[in-house]
Each structure stands twice: as C-alpha cells, then as structure tokens.
Amino acid sequence: MIGLLDANNFYASCERVFRPDLMHQPIAILSNNDGCIIARSHEVKALGIPMGAPYFQVKKILDQHRAVVFSSNFSLYGDMSCRMMTLLDALVPRMEIYSIDESFVDFSGIKDISKLVHHIKNHIWYSLGIPISIGVGETKTLAKVANQVAKRKGKGPSVHILKGESAIDEALQNLTVRDIWGIGRRMSERLLGFGIYTGLQLKQVDPRWMRRQFTVMGERLVQELNGISCLSLEDVRDPKKSIQVSRSFRSPIRELEDLRSVVASYAMRLGEKLRSDGLRTKNIMVHIRTNIFQKNSPQYRNHTVVTLPNPVEDDINLVKACTRALEDIFKEGFGYHKAGVMAFDLLSQEDNVQFDLFSSLPTEDQGRKELFQALDSLNKRYGSGTVSLAACGNKPRWRDGKKNVSPAYTTRWKDLPKVFAK
Ligand SMILES: [Mg+2]
C-alpha cells in the first residue's frame, strides 16, 4: 500500500501556527509582489474565490468577510516543510517528497497501516500544528484519490484508507476525470469527447484502447486505477525539467538600467535554486513584456535564449548571460510589466560534462564554490537577497511589492515569537 500525505491549505496553515487567533478566520496568501491569490484557507475556498485570482478582483469580497491577507513568506513555508518531512521520515520506512507539502510513503511490510497513519497525522498535528490529510491506496494514483476523500471530511487532519473494490468504485464514481492525478485539461477534454466523465468510467476502459488513444501514459493511468502499480516510489525526486523565476512589477519599469538589476536579481535567485537542487544549466531564457491589460499603452514582448558553452550554476555567469540576453531584446519607449528567467535542459552537477573544445576549460574553482555556499547560507538565514551581486542594484525591486509579509518565525532570531503568560 502507498500513502499520500498532503498538508491542508499548507501556506495558510503555516501562518496559523504562529497566529492562532486566526484559526477560524479566512486567510489568503498572495504571490510575489502581491499580484494574485496563491493559497486559500478553507474559509476562503468556501467563498468561491478561485486559485490564481488577481487580488484586486477579489479584494472587496475578502474585505467583506474580514479575511486576513498575507504576502507570501517562503522562508517560513520552506522551513515548515522541512520540519514536516523530517517528522514523517522518522516514522516511515520509505518516502518520496513530491512537493513542498506532499509526500508519498511506502507502507509495504507494515502490519497495522491504519494505526500508523493515525499516529503520523496526530504526531505532525501536535508537534508542528499543521493539519494533514493522508490517503492510502494500492497505487500512487489511488492514494491520491484516497487523499481527496480524506480532504472532504472537513478542514481538520484526516485519514482515508481506500480498500476493496466497492469502496474504490464508489470513490471514483464521485470524481470527474479532471480530478484524477495526471489528467490535465487537454486530456480531460478528449476523454469527455469519448463520453468518459467519471473516474469509475475511466477505470473500466480497456487499457489497450487507452494506449492507442493516449500512449503508454494513458494505459498506466487505467492500470493504476485498477490497483496495478505502474508508478513506483522513487528514492530521488525526478530531476526538474526547468526552473523559472518570473514576476510582474507593481509599477512599470521603463529604463534598461532598472530592468537590468531586476533581471540580475532573478538570475541570482535562479542560481540559488539550481545549487540547492544540485543542478546546472547551459540554456537560459529571458523574457520581458509590457502590461497586456493596459490596452492604451504601446505593447511589446520578446524573449531570447542564451546557450552557454559550458553548464553553469554560479551567479556571476548566470547574471552575465541574463544581462546579455536582456540587452538583446530590450527596446526603449515601453513600460515593462513583467520579466522572467528560466533555465531548462538541466544537468546534474555530478553529470560528466563534455566541455566545449574552443572555450577555455573551466577548472573547478574552489574559491568561487565556497563563495556561493557562503552566500546561499546567508540568504537562507537572513532572507533572500540579503547578500547579492552589485549588478542587482542596492534595492532589488521585486522585493518592494510585499506589504503584509509575516515574520520569519522559525529562521530568523529577531522574528522568534514572544510568549506572555498572565
Ligand atoms: Mg496541500
């Protein structure tokens, strides 16, 4: 049996740990620069506010319901995630971290699964204050289904073990194909076209037919729903295919110099992400655009890809490459609204790399490596952007937009919560 542990409304729950006064109040979390809603508490979901809604569109209804709105605080969420995963890791034989708040668990060899999952749920709730849902099923896909059933039981921590043909069929009957893990919008539209609406209908489809229509991925999906495990628990995370840092600005940027420092700070953030995942990149895309919603002002968007002779993961090379790319596509006379940098075709730092014959051979520069290790640990401890290259300017713009960010309760001494006893 495989379990899927998933924190309930994770970001909102992290905020509540340190603000128990907000236990029953609606909470929404905003994206970087406070642009749109990226996380919602149970109460905000109940108001019908969709994920990704632009904040200005839903501000009125949030205010009416006295919702508390936070800027995103990833120092806090990341640290709480590590704590949650560490607690879990100590209780289970094998696990695979799937996302910031989700983890698959292998229960093979466990006699009393029900007892263990209830223990995990309670342990994380009492040790950390984060409510989680655990779904258990015969395959990863069924564990996901079980988790959805658990989540429907209410906003507190909950558990659901999906076992037995009739229980599985009943759960699948209540899900649309769009709700099934691994089915995106396009695939669900095609399935609907074939008259397949519910998870149960999908389970009953001939796997060979699915293979013809939707390749081997479709076939696996049907088998997983039938309790035949096709997706194993990986000990290591799938290497990410791409890493991106992109944000829209609160006010338009017109000058190349300003945009350059923004892009440089994104490049540094990208370097930080690459290094923390043990990756390097040879291909970097930079994109910029004006505000498409401002119909009266002149519009421009462009992107370009820089391919470097050798894979890199250090900020100095990344900033140089991104700056060069930006200068290629920048045009004067526009108010830029958004920029982004993306690394793709990622290589592991351990991979043997074929170096370019004609470029100078990069020797492993120990000094530079140590420099970035020190920089990463400073930024992790004191907040992203504390130490940066001069290219970023002395006031990274993208940090301006955050109005309501909560303290870094668990990673910064001065933000440590104070407790008073009366
Ligand atoms: Mg979650």
* 3-state helix/strand/coil string of 365-414: CHHHHHHHHHHHHHHHHHCCCCCCCHHHCCCCHHHCCCCCECCCCCCCHH
If you measure from the C-alpha of residue 209 to the centroid of ligand 1, how many angstroms do you get, rounded to a whole number?
Answer: 33
Distance of CA 284 from the midpoint of ligand 1 (Å): 30
CA angle 174, 180, 185 (to 5 degrees): 115
pLDDT at 236: 40
6 C-alpha vs ligand 1 centroid, how far in Å?
5
Q: What is the pLDDT of residue 14?
A: 96
The residue whose two tokens read 């930080």 is 272
Q: Report the separation in Å between the CA atom of 153 and the middle of ligand 1, taken as the mean of its atom positions.
A: 15
Q: pLDDT by residue (tens digit) across 235-265?
A: 444 445 578 888 888 889 999 999 999 999 9
For 326-349, the pLDDT digits (tens) are 999 999 999 999 898 988 767 777
- pTM recorded for the entire structure: 0.66
CA of 121 from ligand 1 middle (Å) equals 14
Q: List residues, by chain if needed, whose CB lies under 5 Å from ion ligand 1.
A: 6-7, 10, 101
- Residue 398: the pLDDT is 47
Nearest alpha-carbon partner for 291 in 251, 261, 319: 251
- Of the candidates 158, 131, 129, the one whose C-alpha atom is nearest the C-alpha of residue 146 is 158
Ligand 1 centroid – CA 175 distance (Å): 18
Under a CB-based contact definition with an 8 Å cutoff, are residues 314 and 281 in contact? no
In the reported structure, the alpha carbon of residue 323 is separated from the centroid of ligand 1 by a whole-number distance in angstroms of 36
Whole-angstrom distance, CA of residue 408 vs CA of residue 188: 40
Separation of 157 CA from ligand 1 center, angstroms?
Answer: 12
Using alpha carbons only, what angle is made at residue 38 by residues 35 and 44, rounded to the nearest 5 degrees?
Answer: 110
Tell how far the Cα of 102 is from the centroid of ligand 1, in angstroms: 6
Residue 235: per-residue pLDDT: 41
Structure confidence at residue 237 (pLDDT): 43
Q: What's the pLDDT at 54?
A: 92
Residue 356: its pLDDT value, please?
52
How remote is the CA of residue 238 from the centroid of ligand 1, in Å?
Answer: 19
Angle, vertex CA 286, rays to CA 284 and CA 290, nearest 5: 165
pLDDT at position 321, please? Answer: 93
Instruction: Give every residue of the chain whose pLDDT is below 50, as ranges.
Output: 235-239, 361, 396-399
CA torsion through residues 347, 352, 357, 358, sign:
positive
Instruction: Give the distance (Å) from ligand 1 centre to CA of residue 7.
Output: 4
Distance 81 CA to ligand 1 centre (A): 11
Compute the distance from residue 381 Cα to the ligand 1 centre, in Å. Answer: 25
User: What local confidence, expressed as pLDDT, does residue 238 receive?
Assistant: 43
Distance, CA 231 to ligand 1 centroid (Å)?
21
User: Distance from the CA of 88 to the center of ligand 1, in angstroms?
Assistant: 15
pLDDT at 72: 85
Q: Is 331 helix (H, G, I), strand (E, B) or coil?
A: coil
Domains and CATH numbers, the chain: 2-161 (3.30.70.270), 165-225 (1.10.150.20), 244-353+382-399 (3.30.1490.100)
